Structures are given as C-alpha cells and as structure tokens.
C-alpha cells in the first residue's frame, strides 16, 4: 500500500513539473512571429537559389 501511494505521489510530482515547464514559454507578438516567418522564407529562397546555381555550374562543367 505504501509503494502505491509513493508511486502515485511521484507521478503527480512529475506531471506537475512538466506542466509548469510548458507554461514558462515566452509569448511572441504577432509582429515578431511575422518577422521570423519572413526571415525564414528569405533564408529558404537564398538556399534554393544557391542550389540552382550549383546545379547550373555542374551542368556546364560536364559539357
């Protein structure tokens, strides 16, 4: 009986600690979210352009 109470108490403490960790996240404003999205899209476009450039270089080197 003691072990089951200890297990239950341990599970409660673990659950409580996980729920408190998730609530400590920093909330971002809409402007910050938008800015991050724009930066990610810009980075993806640059990466895509570099990949295309590499493919073109590889194609012209073969000939």
| pLDDT tens-place string over residues 17-45 | 776 656 556 778 889 989 999 999 999 99
Helix (H) or strand (E) holding 59: helix 30-62
Q: What's the pLDDT band for 12 if we cut at 50, 70, 90? A: confident
- Nearest to residue 5, comparing CAs of 13, 36, 44, 37? 13
Given a cut of 60, whether residue 4 has pLDDT beyond it is yes
Q: How far does CA 29 lie from the centroid of its chain? A: 17
pLDDT, the chain, mean? 82
Query: Coil, strand or helix: which one is 1?
Result: coil
| pLDDT value of position 13 | 80
| pLDDT value of position 21 | 59
Query: Structure pTM?
Result: 0.50
Domains of the chain, by residue range, sit at: 25-63
- Nearest to residue 13, comparing CAs of 5, 2, 1? 5
């Amino acid at each position: 009986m003691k072990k089951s109470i200890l297990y239950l108490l341990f599970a409660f403490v673990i659950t409580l600690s996980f729920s408190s960790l998730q609530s400590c996240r920093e909330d971002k404003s809409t402007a910050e979210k938008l800015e991050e999205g724009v930066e990610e899209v810009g980075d993806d476009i640059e990466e895509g352009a570099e990949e295309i450039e590499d493919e073109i270089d590889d194609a012209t080197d073969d000939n």
